[in-house]
Structure 1
Amino acid sequence: MNDKKQPLIEVYGHGGDVETAAAAFGRQASAFLDYSANINPLGPPQGVITALQEGMSAVIRYPDPGHRRFKKLLAAELDTDPKRILVGNGAAECMALLLMGLTPRTVGVVDPCFSEYRELSLKFGSDIRSVCGHPERDWRADKADVMELLARTDLVFLGQPNNPNGVQYSLEDIREIAVCAEQEGTWLVLDEAFIDFIPPKDRQTLMPELQDYPRTIIVRSMTKFYAIPGLRLGYTVAHPDVIRKMAGKQVTWSVNGVALLAGEACLGSGREYELATLQLIRAEREKLIRGLLAMELDVTPGEANFLLMELPRPWSAGRFQSEMGRCGVLVRSCAMYPGLGERHIRLAVKDAGANDRLLAITAEVLGNPSAGVT
């Protein structure tokens, strides 16, 4: 089986690239059922759509380079000081600004993990050190291994919940890791891009006590939960000294005025949208897990809006991605993730109709023995 013969849709290292998929599979970009990107299936809150429609006249003005109104609203939502917040053009820009502002010589990652940790670090001249999660722990690393990584690096990225497996570390473990970061003089960056998809009572986050850990930094995304990935909006919460170092590297107006309007509307969308999202994701994630397990697939029981699974032999991720793509469904190959194998893929969690269609097409594809062999 040779995956190199199959169309590769992650040419930029991420899911959601429908233009590459359109060229690879000969379909219109809009015709795909996209399970390769993890976006809220409800779409943006209606208040966001309304704010964008009514606020389009703002495009004739420069955006506020200090993001003051949005930052004030966000600080109130998080119960923190606006001086502890930096707004970025997506979570990826926040990570880049951290690397530019803190200039770590060595960066630690816990595989498998979001590819940008490694790619951004290399782009900005850092050396990479890594430890690996264990399949029997749903791809979490041992706490001792993470703490050892902190001892030999200047900055460590840790997903909470982690992408692509969707699991959290316990709050007790995160606290101990944060204490270790203080003792070692290492920066700990907690990537909470998907934590909004977890019910508040189940979120293992240091956000309410972050001031107790000056070397711990939290990065979050607005684009996944509120379904505005095309606008790019994220933020960092950290000690004011860290925020100043990041701001000193940020290009003026990197966050556009339309994104800021959308962000303000997101924060004003109310609890009804949040509750509807959490209920949908939980119910549909459980349904997907049941359906995939019934096909004898190995599924990691993540808590976010996506699932990591391993295909049966003789399938490979590349071959399965090709067969699903020909059926109009995009899935995320995880074969290139360090720590995972050639049969791992990731699926988003969508609405009931889309998930029923996904399960039916998956069963059809896996039920064709010749499709899995090249």
Structure 2
Amino acid sequence: MKGMTMMLERYGHGGDLWTAEEAFNRPKEQFLDYSSNMNPLGPPDVVKEILTASWQDIVKYPDPAVRELRLCLSRKYGIDPDSILVGNGAAELIDLIIRVVKPKRTGLARPSFSEYEEAVHKTGGQVTNIPLLPQHQFELQWQDVEAALPTADLFFLGHPNNPTGKLIPQSVLTNLLQSQRKLILDEAFMDFVPQESEHSQLKLASTSHDLIVIRSMTKFYSIPGIRLGFMVAHPDLIQQLRGQQVQWSVNYLAQRIGSKVLEDTTFEQSTREWLCVEKPWLIEQLTALGLEVAQSDVNFLLFSFPDSMGIQVKQAQQHMGHQGILIRDASLFEGLNERCCRVAIRLREDNERLLQALRNMISDLSRKRV
């Protein structure tokens, strides 16, 4: 059967509704997507207002310097606009910074977002692996980072990390910043972290010669189709990066939407209130099903099927897909095994549907084993 052999992450990511449509013979609009970590409260209402009111302005070229959005970001985070570079999503900025810095060997946590390694390999660089272990709740340990210091001239780390959802401990960050190695932090999910300002390294990056921070605006505001992200680094490096960036990288609508959603503090507060309630509830419910759930600092959860269930994630993905629910095969992240799965946290009604589908799957597959 066609759907039984097609890999949903054929392009390296979750959220591929087109491949899901082909695999499960179901219109893409009918899927409940847990494979993509978007804010279920979004997009904010202002996005619709901009698309309705500003569509005629697409006859104009966008601002090549992205001045309005950079100024809005500068005000929101209290940093120099000259330390900000806006890009066509975080993906463009990941590729751009590695092309410019050209590290010989990069320290990467395992598991972590695959695009870090892809960017390194495109420039001919090598990778040093740093393990994230379940016995430490996938939290980065300084002794493991320290072991990579002799070989790595740059470290590229998720903060919080994807797919584990864990922040880097402040002590590890402090030691790394004192190591005289360049450090790139991907803070794509930092907006979801309680006390974000206490954990984000944006302000430090704006004046540091060794620290670069990348942020996404697509996850928190649920606008992945717009493609929008930004990078913060010392102004000298930002100027160098801007010279290597593709012209007109950030389109007019993306610039307008980015500027306006930053003003929506009510949306921010509603998101944090929702997640504060829904995350512990969903962890409790998944644990009650017998699943091994890792603690998370953000809006998605990594869990594994215990050996006793005899369920592999690819089986689960197919079974759930035929029920109209997409989950992420986390075994595709280096460092995780064939029992690992990642799901987003969504609204209660959707989460209840997810839980019922998981109950059905566990029951059905258990019966088949008997």
TM-score using structure 2 length? 0.95
Alignment of 1:59-74 (within 5 A): 59-74=58-73
CA distance in structure 2 between the partners assigned to 1:173 and 1:127 by the alignment: 23
CA distance in structure 1 between the partners assigned to 2:318 and 2:39 by the alignment: 25
Paired position in structure 1 for 2:232: 237
Paired position in structure 2 for 1:228: 223
1:358 aligns with 2:354: yes
Secondary structure of residue in 1 paired with 2:331: coil
CA distance in structure 1 between the partners assigned to 2:106 and 2:367 by the alignment: 41
1:147 shift after superposition: 3.3
CA distance in structure 1 between the partners assigned to 2:240 and 2:189 by the alignment: 25
Alignment of 1:35-74 (within 5 A): 35-74=34-73
1:311 aligns with 2:305: yes
Paired position in structure 2 for 1:285: 279
Indicate how the Cα distance of structure 1 residues 235 and 174 shifts in structure 2: closer, same or farther if over 3 A, else same: same
Paired position in structure 2 for 1:340: 336
CA distance in structure 1 between the partners assigned to 2:153 and 2:204 by the alignment: 22
1:214 shift after superposition: 2.0
What amino acid does structure 2 have at the position aligned with 1:67? V
Kept after mapping to 2: 8 A contact 1:102/1:245: no
1:207 aligns with 2:202: yes
Residues 193-248 of structure 1 show CA distances to partners (whole Å, capped at 9, x for unaligned) of 00101122685222233356420111000000001000000000001122122112
Secondary structure of residue in 1 paired with 2:129: strand
**Identity across matched positions, percent:** 38
Kept after mapping to 1: 8 A contact 2:84/2:233: yes
CA distance in structure 2 between the partners assigned to 1:342 and 1:43 by the alignment: 32
Secondary structure of residue in 2 paired with 1:224: coil
Kept after mapping to 1: 8 A contact 2:190/2:196: no
Kept after mapping to 2: 8 A contact 1:149/1:156: no
Q: Gaps (5+ residues) in structure 2?
A: none
CA distance in structure 2 between the partners assigned to 1:369 and 1:70 by the alignment: 51
Paired position in structure 2 for 1:326: 322
CA distance in structure 1 between the partners assigned to 2:199 and 2:168 by the alignment: 7
1:370 shift after superposition: 5.0
Kept after mapping to 2: 8 A contact 1:315/1:372: no
1:260 aligns with 2:259: no
CA distance in structure 1 between the partners assigned to 2:121 and 2:368 by the alignment: 35
Secondary structure of residue in 1 paired with 2:311: coil
Which shows bigger deviation, 324-333 or 234-243?
A: 234-243
Secondary structure of residue in 2 paired with 1:246: helix
Secondary structure of residue in 2 paired with 1:42: coil
Instruction: Report the RMSD for the aligned CA atoms in angstroms.
Output: 1.8
Secondary structure of residue in 1 paired with 2:199: coil
CA distance in structure 2 between the partners assigned to 1:178 and 1:148 by the alignment: 15
Indicate how the Cα distance of structure 1 residues 370 and 201 shifts in structure 2: closer, same or farther if over 3 A, else same: closer
What amino acid does structure 2 have at the position aligned with 1:76? R
Which shows bigger deviation, 220-229 or 104-113?
A: 104-113
Alignment of 1:1-374 (within 5 A): 6-180=5-179, 182=180, 186-200=181-195, 203-211=198-206, 213-269=208-264, 271-313=265-307, 314-369=310-365
CA distance in structure 2 between the partners assigned to 1:140 and 1:336 by the alignment: 19
Residues 62-89 of structure 1 show CA distances to partners (whole Å, capped at 9, x for unaligned) of 1111101111111111111111110010
CA distance in structure 2 between the partners assigned to 1:330 and 1:127 by the alignment: 33
TM-score using structure 1 length? 0.94
What amino acid does structure 2 have at the position aligned with 1:265? K
1:190 shift after superposition: 0.6
1:120 shift after superposition: 1.7
1:121 shift after superposition: 1.4
Residues 30-82 of structure 1 show CA distances to partners (whole Å, capped at 9, x for unaligned) of 10000000000011111222122111122101111110111111111111111
